[in-house]
């Protein structure tokens, strides 16, 4: 690891609580308004229905294509292995795994997911797949992935490093970036935009809840979504 790299502080509990109340769709809208478009991690969908919305700093992990001389069970005991990486994960982080979109080998299984849960990891996001699906679900670790596969990662992938910039689902993810995941998938919030999301996100949720209530009462969409000056005034008066 780079000795000059600084480890970002964990997200404050109040920041986590606020982000858990903001949908990834709303966060996407807030970031889009600020010029950020490529922040949704493609392919990472909830492994189980009803998983809670998760928010935390990214702990990155990276796989590269399998190479035959490294594709053996001994790789699991290497100092640069997924086993060692899991032991470096700080409490409250979200593990974000670059599996290059490979879907014929599971990057994690039940034992590693159970260990992550015990260590207080908030969730796992990957553009690849997992294995040992009943055990992964039983571990209680919220997982977002492209699906499942029986073969172990070494059948198609080589694990190379953690805590470095990666590409996951077509998105550049840096260690310490903030990740929020719900039923719409995983979205990345660069640190420089975190305060904007924390401030604008809850307000956007309130506005859209008001718009939805208006729609359910029969209001037409033009001038309502987005609200024109008159509707914006009505909304603001209702918040007082």
Q: Could you tell me the CA-to-CA distances from 67 to 101, 151, 152, 154, 195 in Å, in that order?
A: 17, 16, 14, 9, 43
CATH number of 13-192: 3.50.30.40
Q: Return the residue matching tokens 């953690």.
A: 162
Instruction: Give residue-wise pLDDT tens across range 34-63.
Output: 999 999 999 999 999 999 999 999 999 999
Rounded mean pLDDT, 167-188:
97
The reported pLDDT for the residue numbered 4 is: 44
Cβ atoms within 10 Å, residue 231:
18
Q: φ and ψ at 198, to 5 degrees?
A: -65, -35
C-beta atoms surrounding 26 within 10 Å: 22
77 or 27: which leads in pLDDT: 27
Give the per-residue pLDDT at 9: 81
Token pair of 179 as six digits? 């990740």
- In sequence order, what are the beta bridge partners of 125? 96, 144
Domain boundaries defined on the chain: 13-192, 196-239
């Amino acid at each position: 690891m780079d000795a000059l790299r600084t480890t970002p502080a964990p997200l404050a509990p109040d920041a986590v609580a606020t982000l858990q109340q903001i949908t990834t769709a709303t966060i996407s809208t807030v970031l889009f308004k600020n010029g950020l478009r490529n922040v949704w991690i493609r392919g990472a969908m909830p492994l189980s229905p009803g998983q809670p919305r998760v928010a935390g700093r990214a702990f990155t992990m990276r796989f590269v294509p399998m190479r035959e001389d490294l594709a053996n069970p001994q790789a699991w005991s290497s100092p640069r292995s997924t086993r060692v990486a899991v032991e470096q994960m700080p409490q409250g982080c979200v593990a974000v795994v670059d599996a290059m979109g490979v879907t014929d080998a599971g990057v994690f299984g039940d034992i590693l997911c159970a260990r992550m849960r015990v260590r207080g990891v908030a969730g796992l996001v990957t553009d690849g797949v997992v294995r040992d699906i009943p055990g992964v679900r039983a571990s209680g670790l919220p997982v977002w992935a492209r699906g499942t596969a029986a073969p172990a990662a070494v059948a198609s992938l080589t694990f190379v490093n953690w805590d470095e910039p990666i590409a996951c689902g077509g998105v550049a993810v840096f260690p310490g970036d903030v990740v929020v995941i719900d039923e719409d998938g995983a979205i990345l919030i660069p640190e420089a935009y975190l305060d904007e999301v924390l401030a604008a996100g809850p307000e956007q949720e309130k506005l859209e809840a008001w718009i939805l209530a208006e729609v359910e009462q029969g209001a037409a969409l033009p001038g309502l979504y987005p609200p024109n000056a008159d509707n914006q005034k009505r909304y603001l008066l209702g918040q007082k």
